[in-house]
Amino acid sequence: MKRLFDLIVSTILLVVLSPIIAATAILVRFKLGSPIVFKQQRPGQHGVPFYVYKFRTMTSEKDSLGNLLPDHLRLTAFGSLMRKFSLDELLQLVNVVKGDLSLIGPRPLLMEYLPLYNEEQAKRHLVKPGITGWAQIHGRNAVSWEERFERDVWYVENQSLALDFKILLLTVKKVIRSEGVSNANHVTMPTFQGTTSHSEG
């Protein structure tokens, strides 16, 4: 039922939002250049990798050694606006149709984080990752990694279609209000470096 729910809703959203998706693509091409789409490998259910699709929000500026500049230097005002209203996430509806993502579930993070989770945090990969989830409507990027993972695991242990529908509605409210887009000291979230024994206690 969850897969059917995902497929029906994501297909409808792709059709309804197609003018916005097309306009966003044109603006990204005009403001940031090519490529329009940012593609990155992320861990899916049980850690199986897949490629997630997003609209670009940052430039490709590099330093004298050929390394990309820090995120806060490459994130433009236009990119910040896209993130504020989650326009960069719209292409992930394609991931949902393909079956890589669910509409609701723990957000897919970076592959290099996999060995850093403790046993409890690793439960977030027992289900398919999602575009939005319980953590996104309870703090999003404004909370610590540990709080975020606690909410992901709570979702895994309490998931239902009724809960998914509630999260979907609350996500729309959060996006409209642009709540929790950034962490206090970072444009999104600081790099996860593992949970210390002090934090676990």
| 15 in any annotated domain | yes
CA 52 to chain centre: 9
Q: How far apart are the first and last CA of the chain?
A: 38
| 102 in any annotated domain | yes
| 110 in any annotated domain | yes
| Per-residue burial over 48-78, b = 16 or more CB atoms within 10 Å of its CB, e = otherwise | eebebbbbbbbbeeeeeeeeeeeeeebbeee
Q: What is the pLDDT of residue 179?
A: 60
User: Which token pair is 82?
Assistant: 């896209």
Smallest Cα–Cα separation from 188: which of 74, 96, 94? 74
Q: What is the pLDDT of residue 44?
A: 95
Q: By three-state DSSP, how is residue 151 classified?
A: helix
Q: What is the pLDDT of residue 201?
A: 35
pTM here is: 0.83
Q: What is the pLDDT of residue 65?
A: 81
Separation of alpha carbons 148 and 178, rounded Å: 18
| 188 in any annotated domain | no
| 189 in any annotated domain | no
Contact of 146 with 139, CB cutoff 8 Å:
no
Contact of 90 with 20, CB cutoff 8 Å:
yes
| 187 in any annotated domain | no
| 200 in any annotated domain | no
Each residue's pLDDT expressed in tens, for the chain with a length of 201 residues: 899 999 999 999 999 999 999 999 999 999 988 899 999 999 999 999 999 999 999 988 887 787 888 877 888 889 989 988 889 999 999 999 999 999 999 999 999 999 999 999 999 999 999 999 999 888 776 788 999 999 999 999 999 999 999 999 998 888 877 665 554 455 567 788 887 644 443
Range of the domain at 6: 2-181
Q: How many domains does the chain have?
A: 1
Q: What is the pLDDT of residue 64?
A: 77
